[in-house]
Amino acid sequence: MVMASRRRPCRLTPETDATQLPATARELFDALPPLPGLRAEVIDERLIVSPVSTPEHARLAMLIHRALIPLLTQRGWDAFAGNVDVCIDGPRTPVEPDFVVAPPDCPRWGVRELLSSGLLMVAEVVSPSSAEDDRVKKPPLYAAGGVPVMLLVDPIAVPPTVTVLSDAKEGEYQTVTRVAMGSTVRIPDPIGLDLDTAIFSGSQHTP
């Protein structure tokens, strides 16, 4: 179900008049031209444009996908590794998680943005440039947007950790389970899976 058309009120060009400039970070995001090789998100009212992930970073996201393939197949769910925009319900801010699990009928905001309240899980892989956003800014953003489970893979922590956040209420995840990378952690419903985080242990290069 498409909730609304994604509007691009203006296209930024060298000739853009100051009076035509977007007023909000969301409007600026909508006005961006195609940015090959870059990803754009709005976090805490900041438009963040960053390079696409390194191979090491992408590998960790794909390891999550690989671990979930039997479950995805059994339940008919979709999964996306770093190539889909998510619209946070409420403020309508766009983010691009490193990994997303969604039902095939997940509602959308416009053509390409999945609505956060329809997702089953998001995952972020922490890198030096994204550490504060992934660890601090994004959990309340996803919780407020109705995402039931967030998985945080943190290969740059000392020691490396994997954290599962769930039970979202009033913009905060009430349950936070953190384990050392290499341990098993429970991902609660709607996923319902014991994840052996040893799958990440051979990929702890700086993402």
Average pLDDT over residues 83-105: 93
Cα 96 from Cα 81, distance rounded (Å): 10
pLDDT, residue 7, reads 38
The share of the chain scoring above pLDDT 90, in percent, equals 63
pLDDT, residue 26, reads 73
70 located within any domain: yes
pLDDT, residue 105, reads 97
157 located within any domain: yes
Give the 3-state secondary structure of residue 39.
strand
67 located within any domain: yes
pLDDT, residue 130, reads 87
Cα 148 from Cα 169, distance rounded (Å): 10
29 located within any domain: no
Residue 60's contacts (CB-CB under 8 Å, 6 or more residues apart) are: 98, 125, 153, 155, 200, 203, 207
User: Would the pLDDT of 16 be above 70?
Assistant: no
**Contact criterion met (CB below 8 Å) for 148 and 120:** yes
* Residues composing the chain: 207
pLDDT, residue 24, reads 78
CATH of the domain at 58: 3.90.1570.10
What is the pLDDT confidence band of residue 42, given thresholds at 50, 70 and 90? confident
Give the 3-state secondary structure of residue 65.
helix
**Contact criterion met (CB below 8 Å) for 45 and 25:** yes
- pLDDT tens profile 110-140: 888 999 999 999 999 999 988 999 999 999 9
What is the pLDDT confidence band of residue 20, given thresholds at 50, 70 and 90? low
11 located within any domain: no
Is the peptide bond between 159 and the residue preceding it cis, with omega within 30 degrees of 0?
A: yes
Q: Can you give the residue range of the structural domain that contains 88?
A: 54-203
The count of domains in the chain is 1
16 located within any domain: no
The residues pairing with 100 across neighbouring beta strands, listed in sequence order, are 80, 122
What is the pLDDT confidence band of residue 96, given thresholds at 50, 70 and 90? very high
The share of the chain scoring above pLDDT 70, in percent, equals 80
Range from 80-84, 153-157, 199-203 carrying the lowest mean pLDDT:
199-203
44 located within any domain: no
3 located within any domain: no
Cα 114 from Cα 2, distance rounded (Å): 9
pTM beyond 0.85: the answer is: no
